[in-house]
Structure formats: C-alpha cells, structure tokens
Amino acid sequence: MTRFAAPIAEQIWDMKYRFKEADGTPIDQSVEDSWRRIARALASVEKKPAVWEEKFYRALEDFQYLPAGRITAGAGTARSVTLFNCFVMGTIPDSMSGIFDMLKEAALTMQQGGGIGYDFSTIRPKGAHVAGVAADASGPLSFMDVWDAMCRTIMSAGSRRGAMMATMRCDHPDVEQFISAKADSARLRMFNLSVLVTDPFMEAVKADGSWDLQFDGKVYHTVKARDLWNKIMKATYDYAEPGVIFIDRINKANNLSYIEQISATNPCGEQPLPPYGACLLGSINLARLVDTPFEAGADIPEAKLDELVALAVRMMDNVVDASNFPLPQQAEEARNKRRIGLGVTGLADALLMMGLRYGSEEAAAQTEAWLKRIARASYLASVELAKEKGAFPLFDAEKFLASGNMEQMDDDVREAIRTHGIRNALLTSIAPTGTISLYAGNVSSGIEPVFAYAYTRKVLQKDGTRTEEEVVDYAVQMWRDKFGDAALPDYFVNAQTLAPLEHVRMQAAAQKWIDSSISKTINCPEDISFEGFKDVYMEAYETGCKGCTTYRPNDVTGSVLSVSETAEKTPAETPAVVTTSADGGAEVVYMSEPLDRPQALEGHTYKLKWPDSEHAIYLTINDIIVGGHRRPFEVFINSKNMEHYAWTVALTRMISAVFRRGGDVSFVVEELKAVFDPRGGAWVQGKYIPSILAAIGGVIEKHLVATGFLEGEGKGLKSDPTAKVVGLDAPRGKACPSCGQFSMMMVEGCMTCSSCGHSKCG
C-alpha cells in the first residue's frame, strides 16, 4: 500500500524531499521515513522528545500537516541549511560600503537556500549629489542590477536558485523607473517587484490630487497621483509586474507595530517582515480533513482541526530552535519574536467536497469561518506554549493587544494572552504551496481555485522512453472514485472561468483572519479592459487586502497553460514544433522532445583569445533548420590548455543539451554573461568582460545575432511561444526550465510548473 494519492506525488517526494546520500542513494526508504525524520528532528528540542515525536508523526501522517519545503527536505539531515524559507534583509545604507555589505549578506543567505526581500527606497535617487566625490548618484536601479547578477551566480541549497523581492515606496523619486523596469525582459529577471503604496497616496489617487516624489526631505518632482497609479497599473497590465503592497495597512495591523516598522516582504509577498526577519511556513491540508465529502453533511470537524493546528504550531515553534541561520542577526530576530506563518492548502478542494462554488458568497463565508477557527486555535495553542516555555522575549501585553490585528480577536483569546502571554508574535500566513500540494496528492494550492481538473504530463523513464500519465485534481479524483463517470456538478469551477472580482472576494475573506499576508494570483482574462483591470486593484484595497498580484495572459507574459478538462491523451507522434514570431522577425521553436542529430549541420567556428592565457579557446556552434528557420543545435568548446579540459567538456554537453530541447535559449547567453570571476575579469577590445565564461556567452550571443535568432546584443527574445503545436490543436503554456514540459502557470504570485513543481520563486 502506498500513501501517495497519485504517481506525481511520489515523484515529487523522490525528487525534492526524500533524504539521499550525496551519490543519490536513498536514506529515506519510504515517505513514512521522511515523516519520522521530520518528527524526530522537531521533537529533539522538547523535554520529552519521544512523546512529542509520536504526536508530530501523527500530524504529518497522510499529509494532514505540510511543513514548508525547507523543513520537509532539510529537517533531520544534519546538513548546513536553513529551515526558514525566506528573509527580509537589513536596511540598505545610503553609502557605497554599506550597499556592498548588504550584497555580501544577501549572497550568504541565498547560499544556504533562503529567498530574500529588500526595500531599495533607502538609496538616493539617480542624479542626486554625492558629497565628497565629483559624481552624481547612479540610483537604486543600478544597484538592483548588481544584486540581480549576484543572484544568477549562486545556486541555492537543494539546487534552488535564489528568489528575490525588491520594493520601492510610491514617493521615491525613481519610482517611475522602478515601475517600468520589467519592460526590458532581460533586466532584473531574478527579482519580483512591488510598489509600497501608502494610504495617503490612495486617497490622492481617488481625489485626483498631486503627489510629491521626495528623498531625505527634498522634493524632486511633483506628479499627479492618478497618473502615477495609471503607470503602475499599465505596467502590471502589460508585464504582470510590479505588484502592489498596501504598506500602511500592513504596519497598522502588525501585532508588533510597537517595536518594528515593515518596508519589505519575502519573494512571494505573504510575509511582510522587518529587517532581518524570517518566514517559517507550514500548511494545514484542508482537503484531507473533510468528513463525508460530497454528501449533505460534509464538514471539517472543529475539534479535529483545533488539535491539528495546535500540533502544527508547536512543531513550527520548535523549528526556531532547531534551525540554522545564515546570519546571526537573523537568528536573533527569529528568537526574539518567534514569528511563524501557519496557513492552509487544499481550500478549493475542501469547498468542492462541501458543494460550494469557489468565489461565491457562501464559499467566502466558509473560508472566513475556517480561517477564523485556525486563527483562534493558533493563538490559544501559542498561549499554552507560553505557559510552558515562556512568551516571546519582546512581548508587551498591553501594546500587543492594542495592535490593529489583535483588536478584532475574540475576548476570551485576548484575555488568555493578557494573563499568560503568547509564545509567537505572529502566527498565520498563506504561503505558496505549489510543490507541497503536488506532493500531497495534487490538492489545490493555498487558497487558490483548482487550476485544472486534469491534464497529461510526459514522464521520462529509466530506459530513456517517455510515457504519458494523467494528473487529476485531488477532489476531482475523489468525485470519480465515488460517482464514476457522472458529470461534474456546476459548482466545479477553475481559475480560468472565475471572474477577477470573485478572486478578490476570496482573498479578502481569507485576509481578515490572517495576521501576516497572502500569496495569491488574481487571474484576469486577456480581453479585460484597462479600466476593469484597475477596478480589481481598487476593490482589493477597499475590501481590506494587504496587497494584490494579478496575471493577465498576453504576448509578453505568455498564455496560461491550456488544458482539456477531459484530459484526452494526445497520440504518439514525431517531435512537435511550436513557431511564433518575436519582435524583429526572430522565431522561437520548441520541441516536445529533443531532436536526433542529423548527419550534417552548418555552423561557424570562433576563436576566443583571453588575456594572460597561453592558448586560445575555439567555439564551434552548429545550427539546425526547423520550420524553415535557423536555430542553434550544439556547441563544441576546445582548447589546448588542459586546465580548461573538464569545464569546457561539461559546458559543451550542458549547452548542447539545452539547445536540443528548443525554445527561447537566449537565457544561456544571459547566464554566462552574468558570471563574475572573483579573481577579476579582463578588458577585451575596449570592453570589460567579467570572466572567461562571460566571454564565451558573448561569442554565442554574437552567433545568435548573426543567424537571426536574436535581434541584437543584449536583446533576448521578447516573447514566449503561444502558437499552436504542429499537428496538435491545443495551445500550450510556457516551457518549464527544469523539466521542459509546457506546464508553466501563474499560481500564488509565481510562475510554477504543474508537472515538476519548479517555481521561479524557489
């Protein structure tokens, strides 16, 4: 008997969460071993570890409580990784030395696997006077470019690239440049961007008033607030960024408003955090808790939910003591406030099991009721921990209870906190759960609606062949098991069929009882009017949301993954090709499977002479004609210098493998050109090249421009393919950079692969 509800769940466990030796030999022989490893590690800080290990194991069993990926993969492994998902870094000083000290801290944090958030509002605007030097300031965006390049070079623990969030206040003089930064698709690719929007700004927008852009008391420009708001909205309408964070609301509602000021969030936005704050995440799987699903009495028993929440809170509190931290400041911040973020996943599936249509008023009311129950149970569990282990060190009863969030809490909970204190300063958050939701049997993610009832994915087998398997939503599979081929009821809706304001309704209902924030994507149809799009953000503000993230498919952002609700399998065929025109006539070609090498290919050989190197490097780039267009197929890198042998062979094989997969491979150029050699680069033909790898990237770029694959130097392809696959009728989503499947979709504010769980946000 397997505990996994679907093959994809076991594959995700094996790929991401199963503890293995360095050579890939499994240590966790089963998922029960993984649960035991986590339970033992988190119970190790208890006075009676054996007792709590058994209780923690029962909470983890059958995927009822899902610790975040860092905990699931790292707890009990004795590896030097952090169990915290992400951090907001220290305040960036407005000085060159201070800025690069912060860059170093960011690198150390991402090296251990943590995503980071930064507020760049503290850096003086472009053109501002710099005392003591004969120059003007280059502005915060120039330093964001440095952060972006650094992030590209660091592979986070567990083979995850670092994710970053950059915020900027709506009154910073460079905010307009910040808003439009993602118009260049090659810039700031490692960042999510969000504008910190204040209440006075929103009032000025509604009143069509003026708005000062200022820094350090000096007004640089005065603009119309509504014009600036429209610029934010237009950039988001076109490029899906920047997001909007209602920062004053966040600070007013913060339980710790008496000792901290928040100006940044983690990469997905669900954890507004102070300098050096960290997010510790976990989710209650509501889909596993519904009794008698699809029957008249379907419900989640309150006692069952309360007990599970209490165990989850205790486990998460123990993570604070069991985890490593990249920086001592982060450890101190975590232990002084013991902030945790307990959320939910499987909400949409649970609503379906109760016969409720996601987005309806009834579903919103049920969502609010469940999350209030979780909030009550969380706070009361933390009070019990305070009785046993003490309140968090910076607890002040009267100031804590006077915060905006605590004023709405039930009187019995407030009285318990006043009498006994509380162990954790903040307790609830709705985090992205894409990968752990797949691991739990493809339950719906977080508080998102079901994305697709079913779809097919290709799975690479050990013998090199590929098979197709159907991936079915957890609630849909339960319906099938119960009712066979009976048609799905009308209340089964998905992300593509919901109206945007129904998304907002669900987010607002959930936010009322979440003391941090929520990671959620509001899907908008491509043909939504600009005025209708702006109404979504205004409704989010007026109904109490702390932020808003939307996704409107278009030529720039790419289409949403298209699925067949009948999940009909496509026939076996020769590798399919997708073609679509990019700016300037360039073509993007995706192959569903790598092509075999023809007998002969046309190519060019380039000589690269690196200063101070005795032998030159020779690059041969061969092309293939697909769909009447030329694209790179393979690379050979050779040198007489034997010190180069190993890495040139590795680079040859890796780049060729990427080229043969197809698609927009311009990222290869970008990744290579971003590599910095700590020993220093070199000046080549009057241009500074940061490393020999960057020089190789430049040669490949030159070839791609010469063959018409790229428009020009520094111009990666501006659009991703959304055209039809040759021989097939269904359009596809973006190709996943991890598994190659056309399964990328916007979920919980992040581009996420539904096939392998890869996420842009780590």
pLDDT 10s digits, 466-521? 778 888 999 999 999 999 989 999 999 988 789 999 999 999 999 999 999 999 99
Measured CA to CA, the distance from residue 264 to residue 248 in angstroms comes to 12
- Do 312 and 115 meet the contact criterion of CB atoms below 8 Å apart? no
Higher pLDDT, 651 or 574: 651
Helix segments in 48-182, DSSP class H: 49-60, 69-74, 96-111, 140-153, 175-179
Measured CA to CA, the distance from residue 192 to residue 340 in angstroms comes to 23
pLDDT at 647 over 70: yes
| Cβ neighbours, 10 Å, residue 72 | 24
| Residue 155: C-alpha distances to residues 13, 112, 500, 579 (Å) | 21, 9, 36, 32
pLDDT at 731 over 50: no
pLDDT at 572 over 60: no
pLDDT at 694 over 90: no
Tell me the pLDDT of the chain averaged across its residues. 86
CA 418, 422, 425, 430: dihedral to nearest 10 degrees?
Answer: -110
Residue 528: its pLDDT value, please? 94
Residue 610: its pLDDT value, please? 83
Which of the four pLDDT bands, split at 50, 70 and 90, describes residue 589? very low
β-sheet bridge partners, residue 245: 196, 547
Catalytic residue annotation? 266, 268, 270
Higher pLDDT, 609 or 584: 609
Residue 463: its pLDDT value, please? 64
Residue 148: its pLDDT value, please? 86
- Token pair of 372 as six digits: 């209030």
pLDDT at 728 over 80: no
Residue 461: its pLDDT value, please? 65
- Side-chain-facing half-sphere of 509: CA atoms under 13 Å: 23
Q: What is the mean pLDDT of residues 283-298?
A: 96
β-sheet bridge partners, residue 715: 712
Q: What is the mean pLDDT of residues 670-674?
A: 82
Give 678-683 contacts, CB < 8 A, sequence gap 24+. Answer: 682/610, 682/611, 682/612, 683/611
Residue 158: its pLDDT value, please? 38
- Token pair of 495 as six digits: 């992300």
Measured CA to CA, the distance from residue 287 to residue 475 in angstroms comes to 8
Domain boundaries, the chain: 86-265, 577-706
Q: What is the mean pLDDT of residues 164-175?
A: 97
Q: Name residue 291's amino acid.
A: D
The highest-confidence range among 175-189, 579-593, 708-722, by mean pLDDT, is: 175-189
Task: Give ∠ CA 431-437-441 in degrees, rounded to 5.
Answer: 165
Q: Please report where in the chains the tokens 């969000």 appear, as a residue.
A: 194
Higher pLDDT, 463 or 270: 270
Which of the four pLDDT bands, split at 50, 70 and 90, describes residue 44? very high
Residue 590: its pLDDT value, please? 44
- Least confident span in 145-149, 214-218, 289-293, 598-602: 598-602
Which of the four pLDDT bands, split at 50, 70 and 90, describes residue 434? confident
Residue 9: its pLDDT value, please? 92
Q: What is the mean pLDDT of residues 441-459?
A: 88
pLDDT at 707 over 50: yes
- Token pair of 531 as six digits: 């005025």
Q: What is the mean pLDDT of residues 79-98?
A: 90
Which of the four pLDDT bands, split at 50, 70 and 90, describes residue 445? very high
In order, the DSSP letters of 59-94 are HHGGGSEEE-HHHHHHTTS--S-BS--EEE-PPPPS
Measured CA to CA, the distance from residue 206 to residue 204 in angstroms comes to 5
β-sheet bridge partners, residue 630: 625
Residue 78: its pLDDT value, please? 87
pLDDT at 41 over 50: yes
H or E segment at 634? strand 629-639
Residue 479: its pLDDT value, please? 96
- Token pair of 423 as six digits: 């162990």
Residue 614: its pLDDT value, please? 73
Which of the four pLDDT bands, split at 50, 70 and 90, describes residue 456? confident
R_g over Cα of the chain: 26
Which of the four pLDDT bands, split at 50, 70 and 90, describes residue 556? low
Phi-psi region of 406 (alpha: psi -120 to 50; beta: other; left: phi over 0): alpha
Residue 80: its pLDDT value, please? 77
Measured CA to CA, the distance from residue 92 to residue 513 in angstroms comes to 32
Q: Name residue 146's amino acid.
A: V
Residue 723: its pLDDT value, please? 30
Residue 660: its pLDDT value, please? 79
pLDDT at 574 over 80: no
What sign does the CA torsion over 418, 424, 428, 429 have?
Answer: positive
Among candidates 375, 352, 542, which has minimal Cα distance to 443? Answer: 352
Which of the four pLDDT bands, split at 50, 70 and 90, describes residue 187? confident
Which of the four pLDDT bands, split at 50, 70 and 90, describes residue 586? very low
Among candidates 520, 433, 472, 475, which has minimal Cα distance to 72? Answer: 433
Q: What is the mean pLDDT of residues 177-200?
A: 91
Measured CA to CA, the distance from residue 490 to residue 699 in angstroms comes to 56
- Least confident span in 75-89, 169-183, 368-382, 453-467: 453-467
Q: Which residues contact 688 (CB under 8 A, 6 or more apart)?
A: 681, 682
pLDDT at 738 over 80: no
pLDDT at 429 over 60: yes
Q: What is the mean pLDDT of residues 196-212?
A: 98
Strand extents, DSSP E, 247-354: 264-265, 272-273, 278-279, 281-285, 341-345
Q: What is the mean pLDDT of residues 164-181?
A: 97
pLDDT at 754 over 70: no
216-229 burial: b if 16+ Cβ within 10 Å, else e: eeeebeeeebbebb
User: Could you read off the pLDDT of 394-427 as tens digits, one per residue?
Assistant: 999 999 999 888 999 999 999 999 999 999 999 9
Which of the four pLDDT bands, split at 50, 70 and 90, describes residue 566? very low
Residue 581: its pLDDT value, please? 35
| Cβ neighbours, 10 Å, residue 305 | 17
Residue 715: its pLDDT value, please? 60
Q: Which residues contact 210 (CB under 8 A, 6 or more apart)?
A: 204, 222, 223, 224, 225
pLDDT at 712 over 80: no
530-542 and 500-511 are packed helices; what angle lies between their axes, rounded to 10 degrees? Answer: 10
Residue 569: its pLDDT value, please? 34
Higher pLDDT, 682 or 143: 143
Three-state secondary structure readout of 640-676: CCHHHHHHHHHHHHHHHHHHHHECCCHHHHHHHHCCC
Tell me the longest C-alpha to C-alpha distance in the chain. Answer: 81
- Least confident span in 56-70, 205-219, 442-456, 593-607: 593-607
pLDDT above 90 as % of the chain: 59
Q: What is the mean pLDDT of residues 566-590?
A: 36
pLDDT at 592 over 60: no
Measured CA to CA, the distance from residue 456 to residue 117 in angstroms comes to 35
